[in-house]
Structure 1
Amino acid sequence: MNRTEKEALVGELNNIFDETAVVVVTRQTGLTVSEVSALRSQMLAAGARYKVTKNRLARLALKGTKFEQLDSLFTGPTAISTSADPVAAAKVTVEFAKKNDKITIVGGAFGSQMLDADGIKALATLPSLDELRGKIVGLLQAPATKLAGVIQAPASQLARVLNAKAQQG
């Protein structure tokens, strides 16, 4: 990798750090190409990214971002998971790590808040942004549905009474 390629990679990583809400740093040893591909596709499906990084270049890219405090986590074979959704990257990484012991969660950050491995696991248990939006829409629709049922009830009761009267006489 020549100097211009390294500069481009640092710039790309810096943009990723600027655009993301959460960064999960993992240590990977012995992951096969198919396992990495499976993890990447799970990340893409959740709206997140997974990238194997060069530690020195990642440290350079961290400078001047809200994730600068992650510098010390970049030792050994590392990779990062990132997402704009505060939960997506953590959720996919934790689920994948449960099934595969070749990847270990080292830590990460949510905004400027540094998280250890347990903090990332706790973040993964929270509902995602899409799940929260769905719950809000459901809460907003529930009163309207109940109101329609209440308004409709007297009319249906009247119809049943008239039907019963018609059948009697």
Structure 2
Amino acid sequence: MPSQEKHEAVAQLKGKLEENSDFILASYSGLTVEEITGLRAKLRKEGSEMKVVKNNLFLLALKESEKHKDKNIAFGPEYQGPLAAIFSNANLPSVAKVLKEYAKVNKNLILKAGYLDGSVLDADGVEAIAGLPSREQLLAQIAGGLNGPARSIASGVNQIIASLARAIQAVAEKNNQ
């Protein structure tokens, strides 16, 4: 029979999953305490949280989570060993960037899987979203794209009004002569 401690751990993980539906799983075996602390600090700056999880308890929490229970998320043999779950409710691509950059410097951090907007990602998928521009960059690109045609329309309307004003001025000058 599972202990009360395990029930509490599953409930806590379930709460994290309900609060932050997007997450990344990474293997951290071989990282020192200082390295993990430094990584956690970088992740906090991105509005995310890294939590060391027991694989079977995390899987139970996923199955009980309202947002994830229909996704049939399962761990295969590649998910053996210690895992860390990185939860993000704001911007998973920027968190994936931080993890990818950290993994370049420290080979002991290995990205395993992720979950983004209802889709299960493998390690390649997590690396792919790390290459995406941040939410702010995408919004700026969209605004720039929308601003270009609006600027052209405004310039065209301005030219029409200016032409009309020049024509009225020419007629007024001709009538005054």
TM range (shorter): 0.7 to 0.9
| Higher mean C-alpha deviation, range 124-133 or range 41-50 | 124-133
Name the stretch that deviates more: 107-116 or 131-140.
131-140
- Within the candidate set 88, 94, 108, 1:88 is matched to 94
My pick for the range that moved more, 27-36 or 86-95, is 86-95
One-letter code of the match for 2:33? Answer: V
* One-letter code aligned to 1:17: L
The equivalent residue for 1:64 is: 64
- Mind listing any 5+ residue stretches in structure 2 that lack a counterpart? 163-177
For residue 43 of structure 1, report the CA deviation from its aligned partner: 0.6
- Name the count of aligned residue pairs: 153
Q: CA deviation at 1:143?
A: 7.7
User: For residue 168 of structure 2, what is the aligned residue in structure 1?
Assistant: none
**2:19 is aligned with 1:14:** no
Please name the residue that 1:55 is paired with: 55
CA contact (8 A) 1:87 1:127 kept: yes
Quote how far apart the aligned CAs of 1:78 are: 0.9
1:143/1:41 CA distance change after superposition, 3 Å: farther
Distance 1:18 1:88 in 2: 20
How far the C-alpha of 1:55 sits from its partner, in A, is: 1.5
Pairwise CA RMSD: 2.9
Question: 2:106: which partner in 1?
Answer: 100
Q: Deviation per CA, 1:68-127: give whole Å up to 9, x if none.
A: 514336421111112122313322211111110111111222233222111110011111
Structure with bigger gyration radius: 2
1:4 Cα deviation (Å)?
3.1
When normalised by structure 1's length, the TM-score is: 0.73
The residue that corresponds to 2:82 in the other structure is 77
Percent identical = 34
Distance 1:116 1:100 in 2: 20
* Shift in CA distance, 28/5, structure 1 to aligned 2, threshold 3 Å: same
- Determine the C-alpha separation between the residues in 2 that align with 1:21 and 1:87: 14
What's the offset of the Cα at 1:136?
Answer: 4.2
Alpha carbons 2:24, 2:126 under 8 Å: kept: yes
Give the C-alpha shift of residue 58 in structure 1: 0.9
Mapped to 1, the partners of 2:92 and 2:53 lie a distance apart of 21
Gaps of 5+ in 1: 155-169
Deviations 1:120-152 (Å, cap 9, x if unpaired)? Answer: 10011111223323444555677888999998x
CA distance in 2, matches of 1:23, 1:30: 21
- 3-state SS of the aligned residue for 1:76? coil
